[in-house]
Structure 1
């Protein structure tokens, strides 16, 4: 899935684009599952951890978002729990293995508003090591003015202290935070739009600044994202109250800090292990 030059590009830029991440025959069935999920129809009977948009309930100009759709739909699960994707993420991160922390089911129809620039790792004090590496899969061909993912090249190497935080859903200036961060560290701001065919996508570093603008095109932009941590990650109780810790710390066990594989399954590990049943 990744050539040597892809890894080198990732290390330099904090991201790399790939033209093919899933087989083409999955694309239309996945789009149909997006329809169901955003109507509140959950195939498995289990609701996702976060349902931030539902049909006939929420503002149609917002980007539609669900977190951990894999728990609600088996086709979503078979896509984001893929061992090859887990191996690719672990390779880029330098981990012995990768486990999924959460997925994102994202749908930005024509006219939908932006998602603010942010760094994933800034929200993750609830587990350690506090690292996330992600794979973003486009279900529609993407263009720069269609609200595609944007990543600030090389920003994964910027200092992490005192990062500015801003509004995530539909901010007036979706690049305000990354602009302020670049100015604070004296870095040149070089923003790249991820333009790939349907089924392609990108991998990005947890410290890379990224976001997406409004969809000014006449096409839909649906994407599926898997966010991974190291297979060796454990809960950090001191950080439960920060970032999205209040949502995912509910899965912490009473007697230890192990991240239960029923909720955070291991996709791939270099000794051949993979969580049974997924």
Structure 2
């Protein structure tokens, strides 16, 4: 896929870019087939994800289900979210020399599942520098506004980075923190744009772009895979700590170990060598 200058300009103007085609049908089917096992705790690699926010038999069925860093647990997820193409497009949109993955999400929103609060990804990215995410959101089902798809606030990537929101999962008011940010930015109510794409479609968004998803009011599930990319030159922040991801920092060393934060693509042609095995398996 080659992005046109018009598409890049649109991303820079809106803070997001939506495309109808990205994953092929076979890849979508393979990914969807893994969801029941993953959320039941069956991990082919034997390694649990870094976050596992919904577990079968433990959590209410009306919550949106999320796993973070499913790539560590499942080779099928790894083959999708660690693709060089994602890194290349992320770097192109952000003007980076390359891109590495910081985190992925495996998200399953069944019919009736509650919202994920409107937020900025960069609110959760103070633990590395240079700061800033580029997120690649991949639809595994046809998405609709009524079906709890992700929504973006157009142009909100120009605002300052806000603190983490009060409640991420199943908030009473999924737009509460967003409205506070609108007031702080001195903005009138910005346009909210739902991502309505067929299965296999994609949306890229800037780390400062406000986004979230409402309740799934449809009769169909809404599943997606998400790759949160950062610059290939990113390092751990010397003082800011992530209670989850700073566990991968070596003592006395701010560099990011490519075993845990692999480089997907660089303009110099470098890609973390062990990803060759991931590519062959995919």
TM-score by length of 1: 0.96
- CA displacement at 1:23 relative to structure 2: 1.4
- Post-superposition Cα deviations, 1:231-271, rounded to whole Å, max 9, x if no partner, equal 0000013110xxxx110000001131000000000000000
Gaps of 5+ in 2: 276-282
Change (3 A) 1:179 1:164: farther
Q: Establish whether residue 171 from structure 1 lines up as the match of residue 151 from structure 2.
A: no
> How many residues get paired?
273
Who is 2:86 aligned against? 85
Distance 2:135 2:164 in 1: 21
Map 1:59-98 → 2, pairs under 5 A: 59-98=60-99
Who is 1:187 aligned against? 187
Who is 2:225 aligned against? 224
Kept in 1, the 8 Å contact 2:234–2:256? The answer is: yes
Decide which of 254, 274, 281 is 1:257's aligned counterpart.
254
Map 1:129-168 → 2, pairs under 5 A: 129-160=130-161, 163=163, 165-168=165-168
Who is 1:30 aligned against? 31
Secondary structure of the corresponding residue to residue 237 of structure 1: coil
Q: Establish whether residue 273 from structure 1 lines up as the match of residue 270 from structure 2.
A: yes
Computed over aligned residues only, the root mean square deviation of the Cα atoms, in angstroms, reads: 1.0
Secondary structure of the corresponding residue to residue 239 of structure 1: coil
Map 1:33-52 → 2, pairs under 5 A: 33-52=34-53
Kept in 1, the 8 Å contact 2:124–2:164? The answer is: no
Distance 1:177 1:5 in 2: 32
Distance 2:245 2:140 in 1: 27
Distance 2:101 2:56 in 1: 27
Map 1:7-26 → 2, pairs under 5 A: 7-26=8-27
- CA displacement at 1:163 relative to structure 2: 4.8
Who is 2:280 aligned against? none
Distance 2:176 2:92 in 1: 32
Distance 1:165 1:27 in 2: 31
Distance 2:249 2:27 in 1: 34
- CA displacement at 1:46 relative to structure 2: 1.1
- CA displacement at 1:159 relative to structure 2: 2.7
Change (3 A) 1:35 1:27: same
Distance 2:128 2:274 in 1: 24
Say which is worse superposed, 202-211 or 27-36, in terms of deviation: 27-36
Distance 1:139 1:34 in 2: 11
- CA displacement at 1:164 relative to structure 2: 7.0
Distance 1:130 1:158 in 2: 15
Distance 1:262 1:113 in 2: 34
- Post-superposition Cα deviations, 1:140-197, rounded to whole Å, max 9, x if no partner, equal 000001000001000000133x557321000111011112211221213211000000
Secondary structure of the corresponding residue to residue 267 of structure 1: strand
Distance 2:159 2:231 in 1: 22
